[in-house]
Amino acid sequence: MASKVTEKAKARWLELVEVIEDARRRYYLLDRPTISDAEYDQAYRELEKLEEKFPELISADSPTQSVGGSASELFEPVEHLERMFSLDDVFDDEELQAWVDRVLKVTKKIPEMLCELKIDGLAVNLLYEDGILKRVATRGDGYVGEDVTYNTQFVSSVPRKLTGQAPSVLEVRGEIFFDLKDFSLLNDQALQAGRSPFANPRNAAAGTLRQRIDKREAELFQANQDSKTSTKIERLKKEFDMAAGALRKLQLVVHGIGRHEGVELKTQADSYRLFKEFGLPTSNDFLVVKSFDEVKKYIKKYGESRHRLTHEIDGVVVKINEILLQQNLGATSRTPRWAVAYKYPPEVVRTKLLDIKVNVGRTGRITPFAVMDPVRVAGSTVTNATLHNLSEIERKGILIGDMIYLRKAGDVIPEVMGPVVEIRDGSEKKFKMPNICPECGSKISQEKSGDVDLRCPNAEACPAQLRERLFHVGTRGALDIEGLGYRSAEALLTENILKNESELFNLTEKDLMKSDYFTRAGGKGEEKRVLGKNAEELLSQLEVAKTRALWRILVALSIRHVGPTAAQALAREFSNIESIEKASVEQLAEIDGVGEVIAVSIKEWFSEQWHQKIIKSWAKAGVQMREAKSKGPQPLKDKLIVITGSVTGYSRDGAKETLAQLGAKVSSSVSKNTDLVIYGRVDGSKYSKAVSLAIPRLGAEHFAVLVEQGFEQAAQLAEK
């Protein structure tokens, strides 16, 4: 039986969600992670245990309810024919044995298992029809990813056409990655060009594959057509060649299969042999084993030799080999039960802790970080590492001047383990958390009694918080404004073009002409400085952003804990920002996907006068603060509908929006009040709960009947 949630548990849940959301944002969107894999995994596991004990803490936007990545509007969103999953992680033989024991409950005996290296790259999905490559997409949220097909034409290991007798439909899962030598070369080039290097090979692969090289090519073509100056053409050609050159160094290895029609497969190993026949690049390092001891031998072998490999790995993936058994084992809402990732223990080195300084985040959280003597760890030289908070520093017993143990697991952001106490000479000194914010001078404190973290309370004017919030407005999960990146957000504030985010949509060419960052030297016959391409792009994208959906506006406002899922639920329920503001905590908390924690956060946000100024300023500048009115009849009015799995021809949000336009209320969870569950798969918890509550269940293949012919016709086709 679940325990009654305590204030302490609620506060810890909020802290963990913030840490994980920030880590994901920096990992997936900024390509600059700030915590190690081990620290992320530790926080995630603690969150899972907390939600298991207090289920009422779970919201639709909780990190435990999603895969981690997200699709964007930077690239065309595309739906995978079959869902892509992430993997559960284990860290020692005991946890691996526990996974095997769970498998044995279904299989009754040790099944064949396939072991392979876990390459640290970007997960992609390749779709072939009759042997011809139709598209390549990133994993995204598992259902919908970004279409990066155009960019992969430069990646030589991605076959445009399969060899042999190809099936009619074949979805192939793989990893795009850099060899370590090419990763080092890419970072050397970035440093020479004055750009920040990538944090690790995975982020380098993601950043390289998700660049808009098509726009660079179009600009170069147009410049040639318009007979622009040779200087401009040379610059554009250099930019295009550098982008294309980086893409050409990317490599692909395939390791999984999704939808396949016209081919029968019995085992995972069979699919790999088939991939080779088709000319798809596969790893030569996989091994089929028949015992747990053989799995451990494989893990040990590559654990000892992983730093001699040409590419980065952070562990080994173990899969049940027989595909029928995979299907019988099924999956949770996030991960398959038939596969697991064994993460290697971090490499440990020693270095000198020179100092401890602090950073200020978007929500004002003060995060101490270590400044160290440069040290080489698992292929990278590092000088900084996060220390999280004062309690963590005290728990580990770290003093400034200590020789410290440092470890790394899967990325170049290290974790400080603790001090080498036995060699202390008495010169070391205790770290004292500053009393004032290093960015704005405000006195820092706990937001609420019992909080582990300290915060800067000057949310409105603190330069660090302003910079992070302004950048957040432009991210893919918010208003997706190409041209409003971290550097441009910093320039807008440091060059005094904007005082805060409320002025963003009032920007003009005249404003940006005052900036060195947004202007460039003119050519012959031109004025000394002219508006740069980045300025033109920002201004045009701001106009587009004014018409974004209401839920994106809500995310862009940086209301604490309001992510896309909660924002979409709010937009569907209230349809305009005025109604959301007027709603009581109780009314907000009743909305599926919101709950009490987020409801309180929303009310607190609207109570601030400077937040009101943002809303009024944006609205005055033309930003839409309400949902577009639905056109046509509302045949599904007040019907409560849940979608689980994929609906062919729709993205997840697209299917929800279609139903919402017809008057339905689309929920993320099944309850006794649910009128209909639309399912694309039968192995999920939502489908099972619908069965237990005797809720009608409609196969996704009949979605068109519901949309075109109405609820009563669809109900006749539903399972009861």
By annotation, the residues acting in catalysis are 118
Q: Which residues contact 464 (CB under 8 A, 6 or more apart)?
A: 359, 360, 361, 437, 439, 440, 456
Q: What angle do CA 210, 212, 213 make, to 5 degrees?
A: 110
- H or E element: which one contains 695? none
> Which two tokens mark 601?
């956060």
Residue entry with tokens 């970080």: 369
Give the sheet arrangement for strand 287-289, strand by strand.
89-90, 339-343, 313-320, 113-119, 287-289
Q: What angle do CA 246, 248, 254 make, to 5 degrees?
A: 115
What's the half-sphere exposure (Cβ side, CA atoms, 13 Å) at 3?
A: 12
Q: What angle do CA 526, 531, 532 make, to 5 degrees?
A: 110
Length of the chain, in residues = 720
Pairing of strands 339-343, 89-90: parallel
Q: Do residues 171 and 257 make contact, with C-beta atoms less than 8 angstroms apart?
A: yes
DSSP state of 461: T
Q: What angle do CA 157, 120, 13 make, to 5 degrees?
A: 140
Beta bridge partners of 317: 116, 341
CA gap 578, 331 in Å, rounded: 41
CA gap 574, 59 in Å, rounded: 19
Q: What is the 3-state secondary structure (H, E, C) of 665-694?
A: EEECCCCCCCCEEEECCCCCHHHHHHHHCC
Q: E-strand spans in 414-522?
A: 415-419, 519-521
Q: Which of 547, 544, 538 is nearest to 508 (CA)?
A: 538
Burial class (CB in 10 A: 0-12, 13-18, 19+), 642: buried
Q: Do residues 422 and 391 make contact, with C-beta atoms less than 8 angstroms apart?
A: no
CA gap 56, 689 in Å, rounded: 17
Greatest pairwise CA separation for the chain in angstroms: 81
Q: Do residues 506 and 617 make contact, with C-beta atoms less than 8 angstroms apart?
A: yes
CA 224 to chain centre: 38
